[in-house]
A and B are shown apart, each in its own frame.
Chain A
């Protein structure tokens, strides 16, 4: 184990023990303690929700609902998993619900001409990659990030969640197993398929990605 990963583990352990003490105070009715937990985890939860929904406003609403649900249910929290894991699970549930609403709404919206097309065989065809040179590096970077997010949005939810938790949020396999409640083999399988899909998607969107 490298020094960096050791430091990360030490930091995580310190956060977990701090979380536990604040959780204990919350369970005794101290609302101010929950503020500390909110401030500590809000950014991470917002990013998870944003990558799942692909919509900033929806992600904010989902995180707000998630913290409210966590506060209501905090007396039932037994500490079997870390507070971060428990909160992530709640946030992902709310984000999923938001995504379902978005998708049901988008059924009534005319598809964009930039949306990928699904063939009769189920293969997803993407628009040909643009050959235009970016005018500014910043715009190019944002476009690149937007296309990555578009590819993430087209992933099936099971694959998307594993990809976000592992490659974006860098959770360990144990943590992902606790959050999603699936075995490690399933996590690895889904991660492989998700990465393959992303590779193909980005190749279609960007051309040569090497």
Chain B
């Protein structure tokens, strides 16, 4: 066994863990080898120095300091938990109550907002198209040339009918006066000139079938239908009475005045006032709104019906009509 081998076994020899045979060999070598004996002595001295190293003492109150540190950290942790979740018997009911309030508020907002949404989503349809088989409607739509007064006579079978629906949304629809019908109305204007503004044009050829029975309406008196066909101002169902002012230019003032009076008598219109001034004969009459169009057609047959204007008010019921007959 060489010194190198012995050196590697010295630690185990020190520890007393060598097998008896190896221990004997090491001891025999140590007796013979001074260097290995010296190494063993140094090794034992080294271990002795290590074992005799003094123990350091912990500082005063070291254990107390450690325990205080541990308790402080534990309390900080528990105080955070307390702030978040303690006491449960107060916080949990409060949180449940707050949640219920939020849910109730949400349901309430949803409930009150639904009807408004429906109104905006479904605009009212107040106008119903007249059946296509109505020849007069087709004619009015397709032929832009002016309609002669005779065409508006009841015996021509004019079946156009318009009926106002007393809904605000419908009025809005009428007041908006769709522009696509404007040109059509202007070309047909001779029928209604001096009576109705173009805003009423969209109602020509359209019908609101309130009773759901268009056929029964067609069986009514033709003259009445002719009046009903007359376009009316947009605010037709305004409650106040409207005043219509029309101007009639004629060749012969005297004869024309007589013819006008004759028309009034034929229909049964009462003359409220009659005056003559500066070559202008003025008639003020009360006329049922339904007869307005028929009256205007008659006047158009007498002379040139000029511009007119209608004051704000309803064209339902009696109208106050001022007719100014003047010489050309």
Contact = CB atoms under 8 A, between A and B. Distances in A.
B67 A209 contact: no
A42 B50 contact: no
Interface in B40-91: 41-43, 45-47, 49-51, 53-59, 62-63, 65-67, 69-71, 73-74
A12 interface: no
Interface in A101-134: none
A43 B41 contact: no
B128 to A, nearest CB: 82
A31 B47 contact: no
B51 A170 contact: yes
Contacts of B53: 51, 145, 148-149, 168
B42 A34 contact: no
B11 interface: yes
Interface string B6-20: 001001100000000
B73 A56 contact: no
Contacts of B67: 31, 34-35, 38
B59 A60 contact: yes
A89 B260 CA distance: 126
Among A34, A46, A195, the one with the most B-chain Cβ atoms within 10 Å of its Cβ is A195
Contact of B58 (A46, A168, A210): A46
A38 B63 contact: yes
Given A42-B62, A167-B47, A210-B45, A192 B71 contact: no
A210 B42 CA distance: 5
B38 interface: yes
A199 interface: yes
Given A43-B57, A43-B58, A209 B70 contact: no
A13 to B, nearest CB: 22
Contacts of B12: 188
A132 B180 CA distance: 123
Among B12, B39, B43, the one with the most A-chain Cβ atoms within 10 Å of its Cβ is B43
B71 A144 contact: no
Interface string B94-108: 000000000000000
A163 B50 contact: yes
Contacts of B69: 64, 68
B58 A31 contact: no
Interface in A162-210: 163, 167-168, 170, 188, 191-192, 195-196, 198-199, 202-203, 209-210
Contacts of A68: 66, 69-70, 73
Interface residues of A, number: 38
Contacts of A43: 55, 57-58
B56 A31 contact: no
B47 A67 contact: no
Nearest to B41: A210
A39 interface: yes
Contacts of B62: 42, 46, 60, 63
B56 A50 contact: yes
Contact of A195 (B46, B54, B59): B46
Contacts of B70: 31, 34, 67-68, 71
A85 interface: no
Contacts of B42: 199, 202-203, 209-210
B59 A167 contact: no
A27 interface: no
Given A149-B53, A210-B38, A199 B59 contact: no
A63 B65 CA distance: 11
A208 to B, nearest CB: 9
Given A31-B74, A145-B54, A195-B11, 16 more contacts: A42-B62, A42-B63, A43-B57, A47-B56, A60-B62, A63-B62, A144-B49, A148-B50, A167-B51, A168-B51, A188-B11, A192-B8, A192-B11, A199-B42, A202-B49, A210-B42
18 contacts: A31-B71, A38-B63, A38-B67, A42-B62, A42-B63, A59-B56, A60-B62, A64-B65, A64-B69, A67-B70, A148-B49, A148-B53, A149-B53, A195-B11, A195-B43, A198-B46, A199-B43, A210-B38
